[in-house]
Structures are given as structure tokens and as C-alpha cells.
Structure 1
Amino acid sequence: MGIRERLQELLREAPDDAEVVEFDLVWWTWGELRRVVGEVSRALDRAGIGPASRVGLVLENRPEHIAALVAVLATGRVVVTLSPLQPPARLASDIEGAGAAVVVGSPAALDGVAAAAADRGLVLELDRQGAVRVRAGIPATDVEHVPGTAIEMLTSGTTGPPKRVHISERQLDGSLTSSGQVRGERLLTRAVTISVTPMVHIGGMWRIVGALSAGRRIVLIPKFAVEPWASAVERHRPRAAGLVPAAIRSVLDAGVPAERLGSLKVITSGTTACPPELADRFYRTYGIRVLMTYGATEFAGAVAGWTYQLHQEWWETKAGSAGRPFGNSALRVTAADGVELGAEEEGHLEVRTEQSAAGAAEWVRTSDLARIDPDGFLWITGRADDAIVRGGFKIHPGVLVASLEGHPAVREAAVAGLPDERLGAVPVAAVELEPGADVDAAALVVELIAHCRAELAPYEVPAHVLVVDELPRTPSTKVSRVDLVDLVRARLAEPATA
């Protein structure tokens, strides 16, 4: 049973009083969710937005937005995700580029973009009670789309402008099946998924769709914060939860008592690499194993990672690895000319999986550099597309990040390439400080550059280092190198102080 058919089954058969989404400590039932699904579906029908049409959803982590997602998928339409986390001008540009026949969003999200969006199609406003009204515009002529597409989603855009990826029904169904997110003997279960990742990111989308597919209840948190998350774990006693590395670090820094998290056996962590020392510290502190995963929007989820059994057997010797390929996936490393390399040789990572748009028979080259050890474990060593070329010298940002994070005052560092007329590009960096670090920012910058000079080649030393309260991040919590470059440019444009 595919995800569209599964959602149709739930809408037909789930009891009206069965809990489905907890939000702000209040449960939405299947009856309430079904009502809003009906509201959205009828509004699309009245506008002539039929099956296979592309529907832009400005998705927020709210129950009525889950209902809108279900309405689009269950009726055979195509979800086109739009991020409300963007500034209005950028969202308006995204809507224009998406070219969907209709855009659905909350009143607040549409306030700054409704006029621009109306020029491109119908704008439907979805309020917090799930009522739908026409905000502006008329249905647009839907642009051509790839047949069989279920979701069109932007990549994270950490190294450049995000690109829209077409996720087919086959890919989505394959990802859910391979990870066990399928219906059991019962229509619904009492198990709970705690979701804190934005639905506009593949991690958040997959978590919501996976929970619905398996019939689990969902605890929806708008944005990660330690106390709401820990409270949800205490109330519902799940055995597993998902956190990005920044959230794992926040739980440790907050000193959450171990007994509050006592039900958890594992934390899954994706979207960006989790430092092995962070995962190990969490495990030693709480006895909860951190299972890293590797995937991409293009694969509709994870294709490799750690399992509980792998962690038990291999963690002590393989900490830092991204794990092994999952059942329906295969990995290999190739040279620039496509020739497969041997164990421990670094090259371009390629993936063959049913979750790929190309299908299970074709290898797909990723933008990651990697090696595979003799035991089949994947080690990500960098990215093929983020090297900074400074006057002909190639610099891998990871080398600079490791050097900066080796300083005791630095909690996390990020590096990007700033275009330079003479050299092509120069590396620039920003750092977050360890909590409680009492340092003078200007003096620390001088110290960090000296620290890098002592460890790196001269051309690898960053041209500029900023000390920031928080590193700029994408909705998936990855550091945004695009925004980092903008931050550096803004700082350089500031007038010098006396």
C-alpha cells in the first residue's frame, strides 16, 4: 500500500476520537484532522485544482498544516513545499519560481507575499482553526511537472541557491518501506513520534509522513527548545527520538537530568554530520545511543546509517563513521573518471537505491567525498563542491573548521569562500563560543588567526574571522555558507570605529 492509499485508508477508517497530533499540550483527533482535510480538499475542488495539480504549501509546524499536507497527498495532487522561514521577498521569489497553480498558507505567512503570489495563481488562507478562504488571485495554469511526483521540495541550499527536487511516489514509498514506516496489523498504534524539525525540510517531512504511514501519534513542536522536547519525552515515554547535532548539544548544555529521558534507547541524527565526540558524550551521559544517518532530499530520506546492533558492536572502533548502507541501498566510491576505488581510497560517493529518481539499477553520484573501509562502513570526508580555490590553491573548509574548533573557546565553526577579484576566493570563518566563555572578541580573532597559522598552510588561513552569537543556519539547522558570506560582507562594509 502506497502512501496515498494509506492516507485514504486513515481518512476513511480512523475513529473520530482517536488522537493524532498533540500541539501545545492539546490533542487534535482524527475527526478534527478529517474536517480540515475536507475543508482544504473542497476549496481546491471549487477552484478547479484537480488531481496531479501542483499545490504550493507554505508549511509551518502546525496541526492544520499537517491536514493540508494530507489533503494534497490523499487526493493525488502534488505537494510543492514553500518555506515560511524566509524573508517575504525571498518567499515571494520562491513562489514565483515554483509556478504552482495555488498557494496555501497561514494569514501571517501570506501577509507579505499575497499580492505577489496572486499574480502567479490562487492564494488560499488557512487559519488556525482549519478554515479556508480565498485571499487573492485566480488559479494559474499549472506548469508541467514530472509524472508520478508526490512532493517537490527544495534542497537545503547550504553551499548555493537551493534547487527543487522531484520526489516520486515510488521513491517515497520505497523510503518508508525500507525504514519500516508501514502499517502493522492494527490501523493505529499508541506509539508517539516527537517532531521538532521543520516540515519544509526532508527530515521533518519524512518524520510526519512516516508517523502517519505507520499509524503513530505525532507530538508536534514548532521549533526545537530543550524544555518542550524533554517534557514531551517525559509525558509519552518513547523509545526513540530524532535530534540534529545542535539540539543534542543543547540538551547536554542544559544538563537535563537523565531520569527525564529514561525511556529513550536511541537518538537518530541526520541532516548534517554529528561530531563523534558529541555523540559519544551524549551516550556516556545518558546511556542513549546516537545513531547517525546519511541521506539527501534526492533520496527521499536516509540510505545509510547506524542501527542499535551496529552501535553495540562497532561504536568503540568506528565512531565518526556514517554507518553502513541500509537494506535497499548500495554505496561505492569512484575517482573523477568514474572508476571504482578500493577500500579506504577517497573519492566521490555514489549511491544505488530504490529511493533514487533514477531507480535501483543506476548509480547516482553525490556531491560528497568519502571512503568505505574494509568492514563496509561509510566515512564522509568532505564535499566535492565546496572547495575554495585561492589563487590556484585548493582549500577544503573542513580542514579550517577542525583547526578553529580545536581552540578551547570555540564551540562550533563554519567556513565559506568569499569571492575575491584577485585570488578568485578567500576563506572566511565565523565561530560560536563555548557557553560561559569570557573572552574579548577582537583579541580572540587575533588569537584564532594565529592558531590557524600555526596549524595550516599559509593559503588555508582565513582572511576574516567573525565571532557571532549564533551561526547562520538553514531550516534544517545546517550552517548556511551563503548567509555566512553575506554576514562577512555586511561586517566588512561597516565603518571602522575609532
Structure 2
Amino acid sequence: MTPTSTDLLWPAHDSPADLTAVEAVPLHERGLPATTYDALLHAARLWPDRPALTVLPDAARFQQSTTMTFAQLCDRVHRIANLLRALGVSRRAAVGLLAPNTAELPAALLAAQAAGIAAPVNPGLAPEHAEHLLRRGGARVLIAAGPQLDAEVWSTARQVAAAMRLDALLALAPTTPEGPAPALEPIEGVHVGYLSELASSHPAEKLVDIEPPAAGDLASYFHTGGTTGIPKLAAHTHSNEVVDAWMVAASIPLDPDSVMFAALPLFHVNALIVTLLGPLLRGRQVVWAGPLGYRDPELYGVFWKLVEHYRVAAMSGVPTVYSALARVPVDADISSMRFAAVGASPLPPAVRESFEEHTGIPLCEGYGLTEATCASALGQPGHTRPGTVGRRLPYQQVKTVEIDSDTGEWHDLPRGAPGVLAIRGPVVFAGYVVEHTPDGPRLEADGKIRDGWLDTGDLACIDADGFIHLTGRAKDLIIRGGHNIDPVAIEDVLLAHPAVTAAAAVGRPDPHAGEVPVAYVTLAPGAHVDPAELRSWASERVPERAAAPREVLVIDTLPLTAVGKPYKLGLRLDATRRAVHAELTAQGAGCAPARIVCQPDDGGVRVAVPAPADEATRRRVTAALDQYALHWQYAPDLVN
């Protein structure tokens, strides 16, 4: 039997055993759309009247949603893209997007990719950090949350627009505005206006005076979700995004008319790939949460009713989301829910067990990184393996390597051997944006790609069945006297304590060992545990003496990134500050605090300490701090 075009585009991939059959057909023969714009045209042609996006104003009003069909979405994208072209946006120019999720944002992002390059930025960033990223991407037009949607973000956008002397600042409205939109104060030299009003006069039928993008053209810049330094801008091509979205959509066993739920912010690749482009390729409806997404405290109280109301079949979230939902009574018919993906940070076994037991919904871990577009591995219902992030997605290759610290040479490791995880395939990014030039962006891979293989920076092993076991971050290793300590080994032991709800281990500078492990934990509500007890607990249970934490500190919350990833940089800085302060005190240098900063380029720690008043103390402090593997200096503006 000759396979149909539908069979080629959507092969059976319901279990890991189907992977070989899927890859027997070359990817280029599957008939994927070449670009995200082509995917939009494809959806509008096949399913013009089918709901594409259903957007909630907020959790409390989850039944008062706004819905847009695929044809309407295509029309809006055309209008916005034609507006952007009129404002001077060209194929190699970036359009900044600075807003929480709202009904206008998906169309704005797709339009930015149709006319130029989309550059979404976390709206929670300080103005100077948002400006830094937008400058590096060369953005001249910024689409941002208007004053009704988020007054604080609008203030940030105005500061950035004025500082960068942008060509235009376009405001987004709330999904359900309350009252007329307020007038926008002008900014000298910047065209300021509401996106929907300005776009309404432009053609909706097609792109005008815009050459449609090609597969190899850049589609977006996403700032990385790493834990050190100012984020880098990773450049994705249209092909990167379409192929990765197809891989995810093809690997999720759902009916074509299944409804997905989305609540992650669109400045993160998961929201774009898994809950915008993937459903766009398959013609699936997506229900989008309000601007706060999973951070809306009212969402959890109505979540199961929301699932029943929209017949949601699949969702994607981070472990903290499922931990919270495991404690919410199931007060509705949730039989439609068949698939729940989890990623961004390790899934504690207790969270998996409590969520699945509470709901009957299987949790499927996935794995990916911005430099590989989004997703590279995913578990499938009925074929998960606890402790793993699933198997690789179709047409991606994975292996582990040992990287020589002196020469940088890579050495392939046999199956099952732990090492640095490397990925190769059509999702490997185009490079980091180093600067924007008159001819467009200058890209560099920063040494992360070798012979097509991407160094993920993650430590892993791949078992005999191809399941990927993550064991930690290479850059998070604690190196004690030349001995590598995986922080996960310490964290797992502490998480086994009945009072501990979260744990993170980092290296603290030490004059003898280079680094010693310390741990930060949070406790269950009402729990009271002496830190010394936790240290003893861990010391008795870690797999090796070197991993015994020198100190355990109890804090209110562990720092997380905006997408739920552990943010260990702040903890490393705190551990360094404590070590330096203790040394200054021991040397009689007083109690003025050291200033600890992070180097933006490489995430390295730099220490500035107060200069002692007398020469003898200064000599003692110098001799003591020189014993540490630290970059430090005296700061004239710090005094005891």
C-alpha cells in the first residue's frame, strides 16, 4: 500500500519501538512545512473554521474566554506582519516582544517571524537587562504589554524604547479589556501606539512587499535559561522550530481533535514549540491561561473544572505545577486528560507518585535545551521509565562523551557510561548572537558544537534501551580537591528527609580543597529541624565521604528562574560571600561585607573586599584570600 501524504506527515509513533520505522523514511520526504509561516498558511487552509487559540483573561474568569480560528489567526498575522514591514522591519531585523501571555501575543510572535526575527524577552527582567538583550539582537521595534495589561512592564518598555531610540513601541491590550484603552504618552522620536489599532488598516489576505521566509532563515532569538551570567541569545532557524515542533507533536499519542492547555510564558521555547507550533501543525485547539499562567494562585483551585469545561487532553508544566495539583481535590470529570509532560528541572519521585496516584494521569518527563531548539527526548504514556527523561525524539542522535579539561578533545563513551550528553540533528541551533551588524546578526557557536554535535553541558548516561538518565549539570559539579562531586547525590539524600521539600547543593570556596559542598534546603510548613541534624542526616547517607555537606542552611524558598529551573548562581554567590566573610572575620578585618558579583560573560564569581585600615591586617587578609581559587580585589569604596 502506498503511504498517503497524511501517513508520511504523521507516522505512527505511539511507543519507543516505532522509532526505527519512523526514521526509515528520510525527514525531507515527510512533507513538513518549510517555515512557521508556511505552517500557519497550511493550518488556515485545512482548518479555517476550527478553533486555534482559546485565551483566558485570568483563572477566576476561565469560562469567559476569547477564541480565534485558524483563519482568523492567519489574518491577524498578516496584518501585524504588514505593519511591521511598514515600520521598517526586514528579513534579518529583530522584533522585540516584552509581555506576559495575552490573546494578541501568539499572532504578534508569528508575525515577527514572518516579517523578520522574533526576539521574545522575559518581561520580568530589569530594564537594563531587557535593553541589553534587545540591543544585542538589534531590535528596532518593540511589542510590549500596554498599561492595561501590565503597567510595570509598560514602564520598562518605555524606558527601553527611550534609551535605545527605537523606531516604534507597540502596546498589547489585555485579552478582555476593562473599559477603554488609555491614551499612550508619546516618546520623542519613537512611534508609539496600540498594536491592534495600527495593524487594523493593513491587508489581512497576504504579505505585502515581504519576501516569505525560507527554511534556513532565522526565525527567533531566545535567551537561554542557564544558571550563570547574563543570558545568551540563541538563534533558531525556521527549520529548527518546525522540525522540533513536528517531532514533539508526532510523539504525543493524541487524537487530532485533542485540546491542549498552555500556561508557560511565550518568551520560553517550550511554550512556542510544544503549545503553539506543535498544535498549529496538527490543527489542535490550545487553551491558554491568563497573563500569570501557572503563577496565578487562583488557577489551581479551578484547574480540574477548567479541564472538564474545555475537555483538555494534554498539558505541559514544571515539577512544582504537578506538586501543587497533587494536593488539589479532583472535583470534576477529568477523563479527557491523557498526557502530562514535565520538564525544565528534575522530577522528584515523590511528586510523580503523588500526582499519578491522585489523578490517574501519567506524567511523562521530557528533556531539552534552548541550544537544541526545545525538546530532544520525551517519555510516552505506558512506556515511561522512572528516573529517566525518556528516549530521544525522531531524527535526533544522542551520545555521551568525555571532554578533556586540558585539550578540549572529545572522547566518545560506550552505551551506559556516564559523561557529557551530546546531541546531533536538525534541531541544533544556528549559534549565539554575538552582535548585530548592518548586515544582520553575527553568530558564534561558542565552542559548543563539534562536527555537528552539540555539547549540552548536562551529565547523563544512556541505558541499553536508549533511555536517557540525567545525573546533573557539568558546570554544577563540585570539585573537591580534584574530585568531582555530583550535587544531585547530596540533594537526593536531603530530599529523603521527611521535613525537606527542596534541596540544592553547591560548592563553597575552600582554601584547602578548592571547594567543599554546602546545601540549601526548604522545609515543609510547620516543620522545625536543626540544620545540624540535617547535616548529620546527609553525612550518614551520601554515597561518599567527600560528598558530605560542610553546612546545611535552611531558607524560605530556593531561587528559581522564570520557567521553574533551579537558579544555583544565587546560592553559589551566597556561599562565596559566607566563606569570604568568615575569612575576613578570622583575620581581624572587621565585619564589613564583601561584595560578590557575577561576571556577565562567563558566569565566574568576582569578589570585592573592604581594604583593612592597617598594613599588617591587609597582609594577613591578602595571604589568606590568596589561598582561595577566587578572583578578588580590594575595593576602595568598601570600608570597615
Q: Is TM more than 0.5 here?
A: yes
SS state of the match for residue 506, structure 2? strand
Counting only pairs closer than 5 Å after superposition, residues 41-56 of structure 1 correspond to structure 2 as 41-56=81-96
Distance 1:127 1:170, change over 3 A: closer
- Contact in 2 for aligned 1:445/1:465 (Cα 8 Å): yes
Pairing partner for 1:115 from 150, 154, 159 = 159
**1:248 to partner: Cα distance:** 0.8
Using the alignment, how far apart are the partners of 1:344 and 1:34 within structure 2?
47
Quick one: structure 1 residues 194 and 454, their matched pair in 2 at CA, closer, same or farther if it must change by over 3 Å?
same
Q: Identify if the C-alpha distance between structure 1 residues 421 and 165 changes in structure 2 by more than 3 Å, giving closer, same or farther.
A: farther
Q: Matched residues in 2 for 1:9 and 1:321: separation?
A: 35
The CA deviation string for residues 8-28 of structure 1, in whole angstroms up to 9 with x for no partner, is 455688758956322123213
Partner of 2:361: 288
- Pairing 1:83–2:122 present: yes
1:338 is aligned to 410
Question: Does the 8 A contact of 1:203 with 1:271 survive in 2?
Answer: no
SS of aligned partner of 2:241: helix
Residue correspondence of structure 1 range 226-265 to structure 2 within 5 A: 226-257=300-331, 259-265=332-338
**Structure 1 pair 450/136, CA: closer, same or farther in 2 (3 Å)?**
farther
Separation (CA, whole Å) in 1 of partners of 2:89 and 2:140? 7
CA apart distance, 1:29: 2.6
Q: What's the TM-score, normalizing by structure 2?
A: 0.66
1:310/1:463 Cα in 2 relative to 1: closer, same or farther (>3 Å)? same
Q: Deviations over 1:170-213 (max 9, x none)?
A: 1112112223369xxxxxx7542210111111111212222233
Q: Which residue of 2 aligns with 1:327?
A: 394
Is this contact kept in 2: 1:159–1:386, CA < 8 A? no
* 2:428 maps to which of 356, 360, 371: 356
Structure 1 residue 173 corresponds to structure 2 residue 242: yes
Tell me what 1:94 maps to.
Answer: 133
- State the distance in 1 between where 2:52 and 2:426 align: 33
Match of 2:24 in 1: none
> Which one of 33, 57, 60 corresponds to residue 100 of structure 2?
60
2:172 to 116, 124, 127: 127
C-alpha contact (below 8 Å) 1:114/1:123 kept by paired residues: no
The partner residue of 2:281 within 213, 219, 224 is: 213
Identify if the C-alpha distance between structure 1 residues 122 and 444 changes in structure 2 by more than 3 Å, giving closer, same or farther: farther
Matched, 1:401 2:491: yes
Q: After superposition, give the CA deviation of every residue in 1:344-384 in whole Å (9 maximum; x if it has no partner).
A: 21112121222123799833222111112222221112222
Q: TM-score, length-normalised on structure 1?
A: 0.84
Which of structures 1 and 2 has the bigger CA Rg? 2
Does the 8 A contact of 2:87 with 2:168 survive in 1?
A: no
Give the secondary structure class of the aligned counterpart of 1:417: strand
For the 8 Å contact 1:8–1:74, the answer to whether it is kept is no
**AA aligned opposite 1:445:** P
Q: State, as a whole percentage, how many aligned pairs show the same letter.
A: 26
Determine the C-alpha separation between the residues in 1 that align with 2:353 and 2:261: 22
Q: Please list the CA deviations of residues 276-329 of structure 1 after superposition, one character each: whole Å capped at 9, or x if unmatched.
A: 342233223322111111211112222222122423xxxxxx321222222211
| Contact 2:494 2:534 survives alignment (8 Å) | yes
* SS of residue in 2 equivalent to 1:193: strand
Match of residue 483 from structure 1: 570
Q: Which residue identity lines up with residue 452 of structure 1 in the other structure?
A: A
> C-alpha distance in 2, partners of 1:226/1:427?
36
Q: For structure 1, which segment, 55-64 or 189-198, has the greater mean C-alpha deviation from structure 2 after superposition? A: 189-198
Structure 1: any 5+ residue segments left out of the alignment?
140-145, 183-188, 312-317
Q: Kindly tell me: are residues 100 and 12 of structure 1, through their superposed partners in 2, closer, same or farther at Cα, counting changes over 3 Å?
A: farther
Structure 2: unaligned runs, 5 residues or longer = 1-32, 58-63, 176-180, 192-214, 404-408, 431-448, 582-590, 594-640
Structure 2 vs 1, CA of residues 147 and 190 (structure 1 numbering), >3 Å: closer, same or farther? Answer: closer
Once the two structures are superposed, what CA deviation does each residue of 1:254-290 show, in whole Å capped at 9, x if it has no partner? 3435x54322122111222223342233223322111
SS in 2 for 1:454: helix
The DSSP-based 3-state class of the residue aligned with 2:533 is: helix
Q: Deviations over 1:52-78 (max 9, x none)?
A: 311111141111112211221233x10
User: CA–CA distance in 2 between the matches of 1:278 and 1:299?
Assistant: 27
Is it true that 1:20 corresponds to 2:106 in the alignment?
no
CA distance 1:201–1:421, change in 2 (3 Å):
farther
How far is the alpha carbon of 1:475 from its aligned partner? 1.5
What is the rounded CA distance, in whole Å, between the counterparts of 1:361 and 1:472 in structure 2?
36
Q: Is the 8 A contact 1:303 1:353 kept in 2?
A: no
Structure 1 residues 95, 20: closer, same or farther in 2, change over 3 A?
Answer: same
Q: Distance in 2 between matches of 1:377 and 1:293?
A: 11
- The answer for the alignment partner of 1:429 in structure 2 is 519
Change (3 A) 1:309 1:163: same
Query: Which residue matches 1:314?
Result: none
Task: Compute the displacement of 1:128 (Å).
Answer: 0.8
In 2 relative to 1, CA 485–286 (structure 1 residues): closer, same or farther, beyond 3 Å? Answer: same
Check the 8 A contact 2:270/2:374 in 1, yes or no: yes
Match of 1:106 in 2: 145
Residue 474 of structure 2, aligned match among 380, 384, 388: 384
Structure-2 change in CA distance of 1:444 and 1:256 (3 Å)? farther
Distance 1:204 1:52 in 2: 23
1:82 is displaced (CA, Å) by 0.8
Give the direction of change, closer, same or farther, for the CA distance of 1:42–1:354 in structure 2 (3 Å limit): closer
Contact 2:53 2:288 in 1 (8 A): no
Instruction: Render the CA deviation track for 1:464-488: whole Å, top value 9, x for unaligned.
Output: 5433333211121011112334566
